[in-house]
Amino acid sequence: MNKRNILITGGAGFIGSHVVRLFVNKYPDYRIVNLDALTYAGNLANLKDIENTPNYVFEKADICDFEAMEQIFKKYNIDGVIHLAAESHVDRSIKDPFSFAKTNIMGTLNLLEAARRTWQIPNSKSQIPNLFYHVSTDEVYGELDFDDTLFTETTAYDPHSPYSASKASSDHFVRAYRDTYGLPIVISNCSNNYGPYQFPEKLIPLFINNIRHNKPLPVYGKGENVRDWLYVTDHARAIDVIFHNGKQGDTYNIGGFNEWKNIDLIKVIIETVDRLLGRTKGESEKLITYVTDRAGHDLRYAIDATKLKNELGWTPSLQFEEGIEKTAQWYLENQDWLDNVTSGDYQQYYEKMYG
């Protein structure tokens, strides 16, 4: 008998794979069902180290397929959900907003409805407290000016990209299921993650890979945009804490208290990768290429994670310099992983964006 049966969606992606690994290893008495459609961003190689663990199951399925979702809830007697599956890259959302609306909004709605139908059977005697945990982003809050105060859990939503608009919409649906049907939910909104297994279309792995291959580093606009960065395993730890101890119905912001202007961050990446490759200090700065700015490019994201710290005792464990060093080292040592994911669809995408 498993103590719990937890469905993790998007578990073959970047953050999802770290969450699956943490839960499979830390909770041997839970059954962890990883549900993923294996889009371009999903890669089972991210989970090679745990794929044969007895409490781990993989289901290839699309969250847009409602019948499949209902069946999976029943088949595994799912009592908790950690929902990460999504289209996640802002630049792709500008090229193809429909797939973001489909997966991020309709896919989330399918899961909510499957959870409601499974968990709210009249007279259900289940002793396990059900929970639908929705993993979201700080981008729903819109952008800050350089001197604005940080996003808190009560900041009004003001999304600007099709990606953030679709995530904002999914957050609203999750709260609507809480308020209308009493579905037990919790939401977290996190800042930019970095670390191993991130698809190299996002800034940090893209630039590490390009420096390695002496390819141009496309800096949008003047490189003045600011992001708050959190090492991915710290996000996974926060999800664990919120899933088990968070207040039902609440929202928690997760962030690194670690803001960087893009161009300054890029110089740290260059310094680190050059050093690890035995190149002269700053040698790869010549690769910096300023390109046309992203449409609707949010100036600054910065998150206040004080509630999570005060109520649940979570703080980031890794200093940024340490995190970047570990990250650069991992990508340089895992060139096979990079080569594998940068083939096929990604090549065409890369040509379209940067070619």
Indicate which residues carry an active-site annotation.
138-139, 163
The SS3 call for residue 262 is helix
Q: Which stretch binds ligand TYD (CB under 6 A): 24-32, 198-206, 248-256, 312-320?
A: 198-206
When the beta carbons of 25 and 262 are compared against ligand TYD, the nearer one is 262
Residue 24 tokens, joined: 């499979």
220 binds, among ligand NAD, ligand TYD, none (CB under 5 to 8 A by kind): ligand TYD
Q: Which of the listed partners (ligand NAD, ligand TYD, none) does 12 bind, with a CB threshold of 5 to 8 Å by partner kind? A: ligand NAD
Q: How far apart are CA 234 and CA 213, in angstroms?
A: 29
**CA dist., res. 246 & res. 250, Å (int):** 7
- 18, 92, 167, 227: residue in contact with ligand TYD (rule CB under 6 A): 227
Among 203, 236, 238, 273, contact with ligand TYD (rule: CB under 6 A): 203
C-alpha span between 126 and 103 (Å, rounded): 30
Each residue 134-173 as x (binds ligand NAD by CB under 6 A) or -, in order, gives -x-x-----------------------------x------
Query: Which segment (4-12, 152-160, 262-270, 274-282) binds ligand NAD by CB under 6 A?
Result: 4-12
Nearest 5 degrees, angle CA 13-CA 18-CA 115?
70
CA atoms within 13 A on the CB side of 129: 12
User: Cα(102)–Cα(99) distance, rounded to whole angstroms?
Assistant: 5
- Candidate residues 6, 47, 190, 269; the one interacting with ligand NAD per rule CB under 6 A: 190
**Residue 227 touches which member of ligand TYD, ligand NAD, none, C-beta under 5-8 Å by kind:** ligand TYD
Cβ-closest position to ligand NAD: 13
Q: Count Cβ atoms below 10 Å from residue 41 Cβ, excluding itself.
A: 25
Go through 151-184 and write b for each residue having 16 or more CB atoms within 10 A of its CB, e for each that does not. Answer: bebebeeebbbbbbbbbbbbbebbeebbeeeebb
SS3 label, residue 120: coil
Which run of H or E residues covers position 86? none
Which member of 172, 218, 330, 334 binds ligand TYD (CB under 6 A)?
A: 218
Return the one option of ligand NAD, ligand TYD, none that residue 225 interacts with (CB less than 5 to 8 A, by type).
Answer: ligand TYD
The reply to whether 225 sits near ligand NAD by the rule CB under 6 A is no
Interface residue list for ligand NAD (CB under 6 A): 9-10, 12-16, 36-39, 41-42, 62-64, 84-88, 103, 107, 135, 137, 167, 190, 192-193, 199
